[in-house]
Chains A and B, each alone.
Chain A
Amino acid sequence: MIKTITMPQLGESVTEGTISQWLIKKGDVVELYQPLLEVMTDKVNAEVPSSFSGQVETLLVEEGETVAVGTEICTIVVEGEAPTGRDDNNNDATVASETQTEEVDSNASPRLSPVVMRLAQEHQVPLDKVKGTGSGRRITKKDIQAYLSQTEHPVKVESVPTESEPDIAKSKWTKKEKPKPSFTADHEIPVTGIRKAIAENMVRSTTEIPHAWMMIEVDVTNLVNYRNAEKEAFKASEGYNLSYFAFFLNAVAKALKKFPQLNSSWQGDKIVQHKDINLSIAVGNDTELYVPVIKNVDEKSIKGIAKEVHVLAHKARHGQLSKADMEDGTFTMNNTGTFGSVQSMGVINYPQAAILQVESIVKRPVIINDMFAARDMVNLCLSLDHRILDGVICGKFMSHVKEILENISGDTTPIY
């Protein structure tokens, strides 16, 4: 096989050398350590000995030429040595040929650093397609990054969740899908921050919780009349609206007091029934959804509830919600009626037991005592965690909510 002799480094600060004389010519047979040539540097003149025994194949550099340390200067055909791929223990002047190194690599098992493993997993990178440029052809972090940018994968390089991000465990049930190729005209939106948190929560809720649904119809004519009678005066004195939602929150809190089974959460090996009634309310804008919490709703007046709804909605719209505002919810209410919905199936706010959607209040013909009447009707839709709750208890709960709402008046439900 063919071995190469390179320009040796003759002295610590020497970077190049001039070949003053070749002592052999093409075709000569040389012995190990036999002088091959004379080299002149600015420090020394020296003979360069052969690192191998064999026949000189080519002289690559002419006499009088100056070349950098490490430049190949001649090749020698060495006989009787099989290309085992074993590294020669020869001096610096030897450089293993390209083909030989390739052979070494194909046999060696790849060494992967933790970051390379992680990036390869995250982006489904076939490692045998990545060219390694590290020592021993190791694939480096930069090699993976270069591969990713070449192959037009949407590169999401540093997406390590930091501690400050919402406390969502990396869900083992979120399957990593291979990124689809993007069409050039499409607008790509990186999934980060609150959107990512929402996505993870939703996937977790829908995959882990066996949802069941039920809906009841409630006649809220009394409530509508009562609220309409009070709303002008309330707005004038308090400065914010007397919303229907406050009455619904109040009614649900009362019902939860009676049916604490619904005010609970699934905690793996046990179900925890919460003493406090803290209602999460869904508040959103065009791109984001938050569920801030009104604490101890059962202890608050209609006015108190209306005020907190107003404050939390304001905070949500202006991005001022704090972590404390979002904590400790035990049951969620969603005011889907505001955008005209009359029926919906809510996704439970993990790890709570249920979520109640308050739909639009709609005037409809209803038969009362065999006569048609125009009544204000609303649908309440409940999604429940079927591991914690069953139909019977939820039916009773919903009937109770209905009863409270249908009997609302100044006497049963004072505003202050």
Chain B
Amino acid sequence: MAVISYIEAINRAMREEMERDERVFILGEDVGKRGGVFKATEGLHEQFGDERVMDTPLAESAIAGVGIGAAMYGMIPVAEIQFADFILPAVNQIVSEAAKLRYRSNNDWTCPITIRAPYGGGVHGALYHSQSIEAIFASQPGLKIVMPSTPSDALGLLKAAIRDPDPVLFFEHKRAYRLLKEEVADDQDVIEIGKANRVLEGEDITVITYGLCVEFAKQAAEELKETGVSTELIDLRCVYPLDKETIIEASKKTGKVLLITEDNKEGSIISEVAAIVGEECLFDLDAPITRLAAPNVPAMPYAPPLEKAFMVDQEKIKSAMLKLAQF
């Protein structure tokens, strides 16, 4: 049992999986000697050598494509895209090839690739280092999208992603890397992909979110508890496919549902969650389904006041929660 950060958990997951199975290898920009720009792969090159921790050219399409090819050959690649913002050149490989391989080959071929990418804002990273891009992939059956919210979850879910026989996109909030720390068990179990997690149990409102917003929502809920508002907090963990059962159960429980994402509001992950709640829970709803998200502007602003205005934070979450509780 040791207190480790979110990024240390990710590093540990890769190290332990590489020790467990020699087919696991890493590829990406600066992942080798440099240990990754965020140091996610620190020490792995030293331990496992050139052939298992490979630096690649600045070509995301090639990182995904090479990984997919290796996966088809029986290897288990863990590809790093340096920033999630840069994943767009690889979309064709991921959506047209990785996601469809099992279906297209009638189950003969699978593609056990994991693609890791840091996403999210609030780090003064501006347009090309702050985006949330999960919604782009969230309508592609064949893919799984995992977005952990704590160090323990990051460890357990990344191991599960590496062991998954199908392609998994693993998005890590870059602000969480060194912000979130907690005690992680030495024998932390693999966490099943596809199941949401009930973080807090409550009676008054249901908050459903994922990624770093879970932490903010948790703190907001703790504050509101003092005013007598109890919150049912659900961490989606896996944003695609969604754990409908848990979403429906938690929504019916209080009838007041707040959905939160850091992404732009339109067509986001929580829009789909809202549709599920609308379809399945009408006669249990006690208030309009509420969404809290970034405004519909093209990208994260650079100016600090505008970045603050763009980002969902604890204060905004708390006031949205309170408003819903009082409805």
Partners in one complex: yes
Chain A positions near chain B (C-beta within 8 angstroms): 113-118, 134-135, 138, 140-142, 158, 160
Chain B residues whose C-beta falls within 8 Å of the C-beta of A142 in the assembled complex: 203-204
Which of the listed residues A114, A115, A135, A141 has the most CB atoms from chain B within 10 Å of its own CB?
A115
CA distance A242 to B204 in the complex (A): 61
Out of B254, B284, B327, name the residue touching A135 (CB < 8 Å).
B327
Interface residues of B in 283-327 (CB under 8 A from A): 283-287, 326-327
A135 to B324 Cα, complex, angstroms: 9
Chain A contacts for B35, CB-based, 8 A = none
- Report the minimal beta-carbon distance from A159 to chain B, rounded to whole angstroms: 12
Shortest distance between the CB of B172 and any CB in chain A (Å): 33
**Is the pair B252, A158 in contact by a Cβ cutoff of 8 Å?**
yes
Would you give the shortest CB distance from A110 to chain B, in whole angstroms? Answer: 14
Residues of A within 8 A of B287 (CB): 113
Using CB atoms, name the residue of chain B closest to A140.
Answer: B286
Q: Taking the complex as formed, is B282 at the interface, i.e. its CB lies under 8 A from any CB of chain A?
A: yes
Cβ 8 A contact of A134, one of B254, B284, B285, B326: B326
Cβ-defined partner of A138 (8 Å) among B204, B282, B327: B327
Cβ contact within 8 Å between B284 and A114: yes
Asked if B255 is at the interface of the complex by the 8 Å CB criterion, the answer is yes
* Chain A residues whose C-beta falls within 8 Å of the C-beta of B283 in the assembled complex: 114-115, 117-118, 160
Chain A residues near B252 (CB, 8 Å)?
Answer: 158, 160
Which B residue sits closest to A122, measured CB to CB? B283
Q: A134-B327, A141-B254 are in contact. List 8 more A-B contacts (CB 8 A).
A: A114-B282, A114-B285, A114-B286, A116-B286, A117-B283, A118-B284, A142-B203, A160-B252
Write out the residue numbers on chain B whose beta carbons fall within 8 Å of the beta carbon of A118. Answer: 283-284
Q: Can you spell out 24 A-B residue pairs with CB atoms less than 8 angstroms apart?
A: A113-B255, A113-B285, A113-B286, A114-B282, A114-B283, A114-B284, A114-B286, A115-B255, A115-B284, A115-B285, A115-B286, A116-B286, A117-B283, A118-B283, A118-B284, A134-B326, A134-B327, A135-B327, A138-B327, A141-B255, A141-B286, A158-B252, A160-B252, A160-B283
Complex interface: chain A residues within 8 A of B255 (CB): 113, 115, 141
Q: Chain B contacts of A134 at CB under 8 A?
A: 326-327
Q: A329 to chain B: closest CB distance in Å?
A: 31
Rounded to whole angstroms, the CA-CA distance of A117 and B285 in the bound complex is: 10
Could you tell me the distance between the alpha carbons of A160 and B282 in the complex, rounded to whole angstroms?
Answer: 12
Q: Are B326 and A135 in contact, with the CB atoms below 8 A? A: yes
CA distance A69 to B196 in the complex (A): 40
Tell me if A140 and B327 are in contact (CB < 8 A): yes
- Contact mask for chain B residues 256-292; partner A; CB cutoff 8 A; 1 contact, 0 none: 0000000000000000000000000011111100000
A142 to B255: give the CA distance in the assembly, Å.
10
Nearest first, the 8 closest Cβ-Cβ pairs linking A and B are: A141-B286, A113-B286, A118-B283, A115-B255, A115-B286, A141-B255, A115-B284, A114-B283
Shortest distance between the CB of B37 and any CB in chain A (Å): 36
A116 and B287 alpha carbons, distance in the complex (Å): 10
CB distance from B69 to the nearest CB of A (A): 43
CA distance A72 to B282 in the complex (A): 41
- The chain B residue sitting closest to A144, CB to CB, is B286
Q: How far is the CB of A127 from chain B (nearest CB, A)?
A: 14
Q: Note all chain A residues with C-beta closer than 8 A to B327.
A: 134-135, 138, 140
**CA A94 to CA B81, docked complex, whole Å:** 55
Assembled-state Cα–Cα distance A141/B327 (Å): 11
User: What is the CA–CA distance of A116 and B254 in the complex, to the nearest angstrom?
Assistant: 12
A116 to B255, CA, bound (A): 10
CB distance from B161 to the nearest CB of A (A): 31
B contact residues around A116 at 8 Å (CB): 286
Interfacial chain A residues near B254, Cβ < 8 Å: 141
Contact partners of A140 in chain B: CB under 8 A: 286, 327
Complex-state Cα separation, A158 to B281, whole angstroms: 12
A38–B196 CA distance with the chains assembled, in angstroms: 53
Rounded to whole Å, the gap between the CB of B321 and the closest CB of chain A is: 14
The smallest beta-carbon distance between A78 and chain B, in angstroms, is 28
How far does the alpha carbon of A115 sit from the alpha carbon of B252 in the complex, in Å? 9
Q: What chain B residues lie within 8 Å of A114 (beta carbons)?
A: 282-286
Which residues of A have CB within 8 Å of B286? Answer: 113-116, 140-141
Report the bound CA distance from A160 to B283 in whole Å. Answer: 10
Contacts of A158 in B (CB 8 A): 252
Please give the distance in Å from B251's CB to the nearest CB on chain A: 11
Q: In the complex, how many angstroms separate the beta carbon of B220 from the nearest chain A beta carbon? A: 16
Could you tell me which residues of chain B, from 228 to 253, have a CB within 8 Å of some CB in chain A?
Answer: 252
